[in-house]
Amino acid sequence: MLNLQDNNVIRNNQILGSPILSIILPTQYEKPAYQSPEDIKKIVPKGITFEIVVAHYNTDTSRNTSDEVSESLEMPDKRHGDVDDKFNANIDHFEVNGSFIFAILKGMQLSTGQFILVIDADFPYPKIIMSRLIAELINNPNSIIVASRYIEGASLQNLPFLRRMISKGARTIARHGLSITDVQDPLSRCFALPRQLVKNVEIEGKGNQLLLEILVKVRSNSSNSVVITEIPFQQRFVHKFRKLELNQISDYLRAIWSLYRHNKNSKARSERVIEEQQKHRSIPFLSKTARFFTVGASGLALNYIVSFLLSNVVSNLWYIQAAGIGIVMSVHTNFLLNKIWTFEDRNFTLRHLIRQYFSFLALCAFGAMIQLSLTYIFFEHWHIHYAVSLMMAVCIASMSNFLLNKRITFGEKIWE
């Protein structure tokens, strides 16, 4: 299992003093059949520091493939390297007991660059395609760049009928079974990506199709969409394909099923998270609604008490004057209580306070107009009993008053 969090990654996910680009070359041979380190060095654009990691792997189909990944990543590897001062590049070689995908995983774990380019060294990819992959990755650093065999402009040597049908079936299952229909070649063995995209993703190496697993898991783990760019290439050399074993097909199908379940589980987790977030958002909304109406009730009580005391007990003010004073006091206390308690706004700068105060007054006046208008409509035109009309109008006006003050006066989102 690979998790790139093991590396001490800092600053743009690049280890201090490391190259920008890590090129992984998995090969079954002592010397790569097509993509040699010497040739690769010549195609990297000037100004880009890079390292080349050549992973020599020996496939042993008699072993349990579920154990190979941990063994291949933890075994004491036979490794040597040199530095090419002319190209400013490190070249490392190591051996691994395991298949193609485990060699790549080990290479990724040993590499340190900000970007990773994987190339099957035993396949005749044209040199121009690697130059284009590197340039595209540098220009679009948050994308996955794929050398594609199936988009417009690509061409491959003719395959035997049975091999062609198996390849098409495998690609169809991957694209439609795992919901990655926007990628024409999810089984490509030549691709590039930023380390950032996979540093938090656990890659298990099932089914010998690394790009497919990365596509599925990166998308399920990322809240943002991942851009996939496919670059067509034309194969001009005759290539002898390795013999396809039945156990490889069964391993691939098991990997598809595992990734399918991963997708389902990820979607279920996402739905639960969204549901929990919605529940958590509703709690403060309901709490503030209750506080707002509590403050409104206290203002109504204060208005009544002040009006009664001024007109009957403390002085002999005209009841209209007493009611006016009660309204003014209740509006002021409502504003302060809503600011401090309901919406927990602690900004008391003069300019901010004045703006909120007049906004609150204007919306309260607007709410009063809504109440009067609705009461008239309900009673005069719809012939609803006055008490019911008044209650309905008060509820609607109060709720609109709360929502408008929440959004305009105190600058909060409605549903939070």
Query: Percent of the chain having pLDDT more than 90?
Result: 14
Residue 416 has a pLDDT of 62
Task: Give the separation between CA 188 and CA 150, rounded to whole angstroms.
Answer: 10
User: Nearest-5° angle of CA 32, CA 38, CA 41?
Assistant: 120
* One domain, residues 94 and 47: yes
**Average pLDDT of the residues in 232-259:** 76
Last residue of a domain, one of 223, 244, 265: 244
Q: How confident is the model at residue 238 (pLDDT cuts 50, 70, 90)?
A: low
In a domain, 8, yes or no: yes
* One domain, residues 289 and 402: yes
Tell me the C-alpha to C-alpha distance, in Å, between residue 98 and each of 8, 57, 63, 66, 103.
Answer: 26, 6, 9, 11, 7
* One domain, residues 203 and 299: no
In a domain, 274, yes or no: no
Structural domain total, the chain: 2
Task: Give the separation between CA 12 and CA 334, rounded to whole angstroms.
Answer: 50
* One domain, residues 160 and 91: yes
Task: Give the separation between CA 15 and CA 239, rounded to whole angstroms.
Answer: 37
* One domain, residues 226 and 329: no
Residue 239 has a pLDDT of 67
Amino acid occupying residue 100: F
* One domain, residues 187 and 328: no
**Average pLDDT of the residues in 149-159:** 83
Buried b (16+ CB within 10 A) or exposed e, 214-252: bbbbbbbeeeeeeebbbbbbebeeeeeeeeeeeebeebb
Contact indicator for 208, 252 with CB cutoff of 8 Å: yes
Task: Give the separation between CA 232 and CA 185, rounded to whole angstroms.
Answer: 10
- Range name among 12-26, 207-221, 351-365 with the lowest pLDDT average: 12-26
Task: Evaluate if residue 4 carries a pLDDT over 60.
Answer: no
The two structure tokens encoding residue 94 = 């190591």
* One domain, residues 235 and 287: no
In a domain, 18, yes or no: yes
Q: Give the residue with greater pLDDT, 331 vs 67.
A: 331
Of 414, 366, 375, the residue nearest 394 (C-alpha)? 375
* One domain, residues 214 and 158: yes
* One domain, residues 225 and 292: no
**Average pLDDT of the residues in 267-293:** 67
Last residue of a domain, one of 244, 261, 296: 244
Task: Evaluate if residue 147 carries a pLDDT over 60.
Answer: yes
In a domain, 107, yes or no: yes
In a domain, 142, yes or no: yes
Question: In this predicted model, what pLDDT tens digit does every residue of 193-216 receive, in sequence order?
Answer: 999 888 878 887 776 788 999 888
Given phi > 0 = left and psi -120 to 50 = alpha, else beta, which region is 72? alpha
416 Cβ contact list (under 8 Å, min separation 6): 281, 284, 285
The CATH number covering residue 203 comes to: 3.90.550.10
Residue 66 has a pLDDT of 39
Q: How confident is the model at residue 231 (pLDDT cuts 50, 70, 90)?
A: very high
Task: Evaluate if residue 144 carries a pLDDT over 90.
Answer: yes
Task: Evaluate if residue 23 carries a pLDDT over 90.
Answer: yes
Q: How confident is the model at residue 267 (pLDDT cuts 50, 70, 90)?
A: low
Task: Evaluate if residue 224 carries a pLDDT over 70.
Answer: no
Task: Evaluate if residue 8 carries a pLDDT over 50.
Answer: no
Task: Give the separation between CA 32 and CA 80, rounded to whole angstroms.
Answer: 16
* One domain, residues 45 and 156: yes
Of 126, 100, 130, the residue nearest 115 (C-alpha)? 130
Task: Give the separation between CA 121 and CA 132, rounded to whole angstroms.
Answer: 17
Of 202, 200, 14, the residue nearest 111 (C-alpha)? 14
- Range name among 74-78, 285-289, 404-408 with the lowest pLDDT average: 74-78
In a domain, 272, yes or no: no
144 Cβ contact list (under 8 Å, min separation 6): 191, 192, 193, 197, 214, 215, 218, 226, 227, 228, 229
Last residue of a domain, one of 218, 244, 270: 244
* One domain, residues 28 and 148: yes
* One domain, residues 189 and 105: yes
Question: In this predicted model, what pLDDT tens digit does every residue of 55-90 receive, in sequence order?
Answer: 999 865 444 433 444 343 333 344 555 555 444 568
Q: Which domain holds residue 136?
A: 4-244
In a domain, 268, yes or no: no
Of 133, 136, 116, 135, the residue nearest 125 (C-alpha)? 133
In a domain, 255, yes or no: no
Task: Evaluate if residue 7 carries a pLDDT over 50.
Answer: no
Contact indicator for 186, 215 with CB cutoff of 8 Å: yes
